[in-house]
Amino acid sequence: MNCLEVRDNLSAYWDRELPNDARREIDAHLAECNACCGELQTLADLSNLVTRTPAPEVPGDAWARIESAIEDRTGKVVVRPSAGVRRSRAGTLALAAGLLAVVTGAAIWYQRAGGGNQLQSAPHLAQYASLLSRDPAAAQQSLLAAYQGRAVPPDEAARVLGYVPVSLRRSPAGYRLRSAYLLDMPCCRCMQAVYEGGDGQTVAVFEKSPDHPLEFGDRPSVCTECNGQPCQLTQADDRLIVSCQVENRQLAIVGVRNMDEAHTLLAWLHENSRRETKRT
């Protein structure tokens, strides 16, 4: 098998779904190809992320909402199950929710393995994400050059954008705001807040309108929940990119080291949103 054939079958290889002959061919290829070994390791990392992510809570009215959605689409009345059946359905829904996260990740993985011909609204962000943990200064200079970025004080950013960015309302505990930038991307103007942790670790928060999603290149991703909120996790070498929507804007946190940090920073963003809502 060549690299393309191997990568097309890595998910099935990982799940032990391939015939023995195909597995042996892939084993032989992996023994000599570091690039495909890296692809397999990335798939394993994503699988482990899904495994460690808590199963989402199933709302008590989940079955009623599903019935209502079916009725709205078909115009047919759905026979409602008994209470006992509803209880068993709740367990089925929880399992389905977990499977959905895995299936979504697998689907995006296949998109990557197939060659990655995705339309990217901001392709230089993939380069930025890869370089950030190794050389933050070089990563930032590359980003500013690509999108005519400029440093701005938080109050000027709010004036230019017409709103106070969620990522600038209050710093997360244990981090300090190092700098803020406005970037002129092909789709729109984007706010970037760069934070530094107590150990010198850099994380960057990108914030923009949700009309055009931020793209981070041809990388494997998985959709899941963090702190009860939907989010997307994208592997960027030895770091994670965590994307979510807060209020009416899309945010992406680049440079996250693990799921604990992801939970902490997402909780901070949502708390900032609640604080601003209460104040206004």
Burial class (CB in 10 A: 0-12, 13-18, 19+), 92: exposed
Question: What pLDDT does 198 receive?
Answer: 87
Of the pLDDT bands very low, low, confident and very high (cuts 50, 70, 90), residue 161 is confident
**3-state DSSP call for residue 223?**
strand
Of the pLDDT bands very low, low, confident and very high (cuts 50, 70, 90), residue 47 is low
**Rounded Cα gap, residues 267 and 251, in angstroms:** 13
pLDDT, tens digit (0-9, with 9 covering 90-100), for 98-147? 434 443 443 333 334 333 333 344 556 778 888 888 888 999 998 898 88
Question: What pLDDT does 120 receive?
Answer: 42
Report the 3 state secondary structure along 8-59. HCHHHHHCCCCCHHHHHHHHHHHCCCHHHHHHHHHHHHHHHHHHHCCCCCCC
pLDDT, tens digit (0-9, with 9 covering 90-100), for 217-268? 677 777 777 767 788 888 887 788 888 888 788 899 999 988 888 889 999 9
Whether the full predicted model's pTM is greater than 0.95, yes or no, is: no
**Rounded Cα gap, residues 164 and 161, in angstroms:** 8
Q: Which domains can be identified in the chain, with CATH numbers?
A: 1-117 (no CATH), 124-279 (3.40.1000.20)
